[in-house]
């Protein structure tokens, strides 16, 4: 645990030092290009951020803002693209390699599908940083670092908190099929909770069905008294499902947005596991800039951790204004 804290602190200090030392670079302009979910900025260093985010997912909007903010502050050209289909995401990586970008930042929810594309980027001499998911394969594929949280550990801590809250049976809601990180969260929660945990598969692109499936499960099994969502949008659906089912269950969630902040304040969500995804966009751009300008690396071969932190009624007011601004 100590090594994880050291890495976190080191990254924070490095980021502050770089921003202080680099007050001179001119901020760059960003341009939203609509349907292809990309935004572009000009700069000597070109970085392509490629994630598995789906359209309308507020979590990835915060990652995008973080990357773009770093680009503006450091004079780095940042392009953001995402696709929830692993094959299409691999093609986005291939396109970035063909464009000879100076760095690639990529989330790996399905590492095996991206293996060849990531390795080809590394062979082409392009530094790659993985974020959010796929940490177990990051170094193997040749990436210089991984930025995110360890999902199993985060799940364990969430399970422990739910157990401490007196819950006895837990429903863990998985919203993306094939996403290894989500399964790790539920497995970790099962370990930390120590009681009965059942997984429920839903589709993030169909919120009406998400609510219906959770409501049906609660109505058929009154012993479920805790729902662990792995996405803030799913958490809101779960809170609504609980009301519809007249259930006494309570919701906890991974990740944070303005709706979850409001739900925590209202007592509809117990807590959010906060992996601070703004940093998952921001820090890799800082790291690639440091690598280009000074051959610096961070992490020492270990993941650079952005979480888990926890937001509940004791600290929600502190982060509320940042969530409104799209940065938490």
The reply to whether 102 and 119 lie within a common domain is yes
Q: Are 315 and 253 in contact (CB under 8 A)?
A: no
Residue ranges, the chain, pLDDT below 70: 1-43
327 lies in some domain: no
Backbone angles phi, psi at 17, to 5 degrees: -60, -40
Confidence at residue 225, expressed as pLDDT on a 0 to 100 scale: 98
Confidence at residue 17, expressed as pLDDT on a 0 to 100 scale: 41
Confidence at residue 16, expressed as pLDDT on a 0 to 100 scale: 42
166 CB-near residues (< 8 Å, 6+ apart) = none
> What is the count of structural domains for the chain?
2
Confidence at residue 310, expressed as pLDDT on a 0 to 100 scale: 96
Confidence at residue 55, expressed as pLDDT on a 0 to 100 scale: 78
The reply to whether 28 and 39 lie within a common domain is yes
The reply to whether 168 and 269 lie within a common domain is yes
Please tell me whether residue 8 adopts helix, strand or coil conformation. Answer: helix
The reply to whether 281 and 243 lie within a common domain is no
The reply to whether 258 and 286 lie within a common domain is no
Q: How does pLDDT run across 265-280, given as a tens digit for each residue?
A: 999 999 999 999 999 9
Q: Are 148 and 303 in contact (CB under 8 A)?
A: yes
Confidence at residue 18, expressed as pLDDT on a 0 to 100 scale: 42
The reply to whether 191 and 218 lie within a common domain is yes
180 lies in some domain: yes
Confidence at residue 324, expressed as pLDDT on a 0 to 100 scale: 81
Confidence at residue 43, expressed as pLDDT on a 0 to 100 scale: 64
The reply to whether 286 and 267 lie within a common domain is no
Strand 76-82 relative to strand 31-32, pairing: unpaired
Spatial distance between the Cα atoms of 35 and 20, rounded to a whole number of angstroms: 36
The reply to whether 177 and 207 lie within a common domain is yes
Confidence at residue 294, expressed as pLDDT on a 0 to 100 scale: 96
Spatial distance between the Cα atoms of 267 and 143, rounded to a whole number of angstroms: 41
Q: Across-strand partners of 272? A: 253, 311
Q: Is 220 exposed, middle or buried (0-12, 13-18, 19+ CB in 10 A)?
A: exposed
Rounded to two decimals, the pTM is: 0.80
The reply to whether 121 and 266 lie within a common domain is no
CATH number of the structural domain spanning residue 288 = 3.40.50.2300
Q: Which two tokens stand for residue 130?
A: 């993985």
The reply to whether 71 and 31 lie within a common domain is yes
């Amino acid at each position: 645990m100590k090594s994880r804290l050291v890495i976190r602190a080191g990254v924070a200090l490095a980021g502050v030092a770089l921003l202080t030392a680099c007050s001179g670079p001119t901020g760059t302009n960003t341009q939203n290009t609509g349907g292809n979910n990309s935004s572009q900025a000009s700069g000597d260093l070109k970085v392509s951020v490629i994630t598995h985010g789906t359209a309308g997912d507020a979590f990835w909007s915060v990652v995008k803002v973080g990357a773009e903010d770093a680009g503006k502050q450091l004079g780095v050209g940042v392009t953001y693209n995402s696709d929830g289909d692993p094959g299409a995401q691999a093609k986005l990586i291939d396109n970035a390699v063909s464009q000879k970008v100076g760095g690639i930042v990529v989330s790996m929810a399905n590492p095996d599908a991206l293996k060849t594309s990531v390795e080809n980027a590394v062979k082409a001499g392009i530094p790659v940083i993985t974020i959010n998911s796929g940490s177990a394969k990051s170094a193997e594929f040749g990436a210089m670092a991984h930025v995110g949280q360890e999902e199993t550990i985060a799940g364990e801590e969430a399970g422990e908190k739910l157990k401490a809250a007196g819950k006895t049976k837990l429903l863990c809601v998985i919203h993306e099929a094939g996403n290894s990180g989500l399964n790790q969260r539920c497995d970790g929660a099962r370990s930390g909770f120590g009681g009965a945990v059942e997984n429920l598969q839903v589709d993030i692109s169909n919120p009406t069905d998400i609510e219906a499936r959770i409501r049906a499960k609660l109505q058929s099994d009154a012993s479920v008294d805790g729902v662990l969502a792995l996405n803030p949008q799913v958490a809101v659906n779960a809170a609504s499902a609980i009301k519809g089912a007249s259930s006494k269950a309570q919701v906890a969630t991974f990740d944070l947005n303005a709706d979850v902040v409001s739900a925590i304040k209202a007592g509809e969500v117990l807590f959010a596991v906060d992996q601070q995804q703004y940093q998952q966009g921001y820090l890799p751009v800082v790291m690639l800039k440091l690598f280009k300008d000074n051959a610096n690396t961070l992490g020492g071969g270990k993941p650079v951790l952005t979480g888990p932190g926890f937001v509940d009624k004791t600290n929600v007011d502190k982060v509320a204004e940042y969530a409104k601004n799209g940065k938490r």
